[in-house]
Amino acid sequence: MKLNIKNETSRLRAVVLGTAESPGPTPEYEHAYDPKSAEHIKAGTYPVEEDMVREMEAVREVLERYDVKVYRPKLVKDLNQIFTRDIAFVIDDKFIKANILPDREEEIEAIQYVIDQMDPDKVIELPEDVHVEGGDVMLYNDDLFIGAYYGEDYSQFITARTNLKGVEHLREMFPNKKVKSFNLRKSNTEARDNALHLDCCFQPVGRGKAILYKDGFLDMEEYQWLVNFFGKENIFEITRQEMYDMNSNVFSISEDVVISERNFTRLNSWLRENGMKVEEVPYAEIAKQEGLLRCSTLPLIRD
């Protein structure tokens, strides 16, 4: 398999789409990985398998309609395998395994059959103290945007998934890329104030456009840097509630086609106004786990 990912929007050819089958029982409140899941566990509204499977099937149907090769993880019973973006990511022609939370290691084993099709020299394992998850890695051709948490209390946040060592490691691995990191707002208790990954508050779409949430960034200079980079007129600013609903976590099949949640009416109108075709899918149940379309896809090949 010839891996190739240079950005978020080139025509998609192959992807690993997670699976919602057999995700196991609703987690205990104190074992939730993020505040949004915890909120729904407490409220008794945590999503059920049947609904999540239906939502993911809708995405698979869209992808296959566009002739995208869709790989699925092998099923591990009673394991949440929805969010494939957490476990690995591709930059250029390299497949990088994330250092994820230890009790999620089985997830990467479930896509080993895909990894076996790659050049083993292109499959990278990170040192143990280097933390990076795919949701924090955003490609924009020669630019590499990385979400992180800079605070010395990093280890106290289950929601902090990428550290400064992760940023530096990628900078060394890809010396030809301009690497820019962003210090993200984290909260273990309030999902509306938690940018779990960079793609929870920012994503490029279409041709030179971007979705952005100002308060996901702790450093206003870093936020402003993005505004200047894309140009204010090319940015769709989302509200705190839209960030909570995961409006920035859509997924591009190409510069002209975006898969989006059907309830994102304001965003979807803006995408259409800017010349993009919007493939609307139901994904509100999966969103309750603080992840959406980008989180549940791991692109392998784009043009």
pLDDT in tens, 99-118: 866 777 899 999 999 999 99
| DSSP-derived pairing of the beta strands 178-183 and 143-148 | parallel
Q: Is the pLDDT of residue 205 over 70?
A: yes
Average pLDDT on 279-301 reads 95
pTM over 0.85: yes
Q: What are the tens digits of pLDDT across the range 180-199?
A: 999 999 887 888 888 889 99
| pLDDT at residue 101, as a whole number | 67
In terms of C-beta distances under 8 Å and separation of at least 24 residues, what long-range contacts does 47-51 make, across chains too? 47/285, 47/286, 47/288, 47/289, 48/285, 49/20, 49/21, 49/22, 49/23, 51/285
| pLDDT at residue 153, as a whole number | 79
pLDDT band of residue 223 (cuts 50, 70, 90) is: very high
Q: Which has the higher per-residue pLDDT, 26 or 32?
A: 26
